[in-house]
């Protein structure tokens, strides 16, 4: 006989937010500058994997999926991450080149949502980043045909050993199916937790003239 697990009182799980909020007077008119400031705050606060973000994609007929990926760079051209182009997310981004990113920094009671259009980064840019990775990470990109069904873990381990023998002591080239995507933002939302669930939500939306309009949303 096994013990009956104690029911989880999920509906009763609450956290009261007490940090200072987010006002229009405090934010930068440029959302990229605002993001950089919050990102630096998260680094200073030693947030675990500050660059971890949820990437939401959808098929051409609108079926969604999401997963955690790592941000590898950002500037006014957009937010860059790398993956296998033949993976599920890679295929969905080719079919439907729009996506959303979500950063959640619990220690600071902050989150940032970014929505936009997707483009591939150049093969040259992908190659530069690929060569900056560790040898095992580069071999891993060749080992895994991401999202494809495999018979067992042994398949991966055996293939990795074969690649280590093949490339031992030599340059490991960029796989033709691996590289970067850039999300070019259309909209940002900066969220800051406040007491009584009356959170601060400020959005930036790209205007037809290229400027950013700022609005406050009800929580």
- Predicted pLDDT of residue 10: 46
Residue 182: active-site member:
no
pTM of the model: 0.87
Domain limits of the chain? 17-132+178-216
**pLDDT tens for each residue of 153-196:** 998 889 889 999 999 878 999 999 999 999 999 999 999 998 88
CATH topology of domain 17-132+178-216: Pnp Oxidase; Chain A (2.30.110)
Among residues 40, 161, 186, 197, the one annotated as catalytic is 197
**pLDDT tens for each residue of 134-150:** 999 999 999 988 888 88
- Predicted pLDDT of residue 24: 92
Rounded Cα gap, residues 47 and 194, in angstroms: 19
- Predicted pLDDT of residue 190: 98
- Helical H segments across 27-171, by residue range: 31-44, 88-95, 123-132, 135-143, 153-167
Rounded Cα gap, residues 100 and 34, in angstroms: 18
CA–CA distances in Å: residue 94 to residues 90, 115, 122, 216: 6, 16, 15, 33
Q: Alpha-carbon torsion 13, 18, 19, 21, what sign?
A: positive
Can you list the pairs that 162-170 forms with residues at least 24 positions away whose Cβ atoms lie under 8 Å?
Answer: 163/139, 164/139, 167/139
Question: Which of 191, 217, 218 shows the shortest CA–CA distance to 21?
Answer: 191
Question: Which of 66, 64, 74 shows the shortest CA–CA distance to 33?
Answer: 74
Intervals of the chain under pLDDT 50:
10, 13
């Amino acid at each position: 006989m096994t013990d009956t697990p104690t029911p989880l009182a999920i509906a009763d799980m609450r956290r009261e937010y007490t940090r200072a909020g987010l006002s229009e007077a405090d934010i930068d008119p440029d959302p990229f500058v605002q993001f950089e400031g919050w990102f630096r705050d998260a680094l200073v606060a030693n947030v675990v994997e500050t660059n971890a973000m949820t990437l939401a994609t959808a098929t051409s007929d609108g079926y969604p999926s999401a997963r955690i990926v790592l941000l590898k760079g950002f500037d006014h051209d957009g937010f860059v991450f790398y993956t296998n182009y033949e993976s599920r997310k890679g295929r969905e981004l080719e079919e439907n080149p729009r996506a959303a990113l979500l950063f959640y920094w619990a220690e600071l009671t902050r989150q940032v949502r970014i929505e936009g259009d997707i483009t591939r980064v150049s093969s040259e840019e992908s190659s530069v980043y690929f060569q900056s990775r560790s040898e095992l990470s580069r071999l891993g990109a060749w080992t895994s045909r991401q999202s494809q069904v495999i018979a067992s873990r042994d398949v991966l381990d055996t293939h990795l050993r074969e690649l280590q023998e093949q490339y031992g002591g030599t340059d490991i080239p960029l796989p033709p199916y691996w590289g970067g995507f850039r999300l070019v933002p259309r909209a940002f939302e900066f969220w800051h937790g406040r007491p009584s669930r009356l959170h601060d939500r400020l959005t930036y939306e790209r205007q037809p003239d290229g400027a950013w309009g700022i609005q406050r949303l009800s929580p």
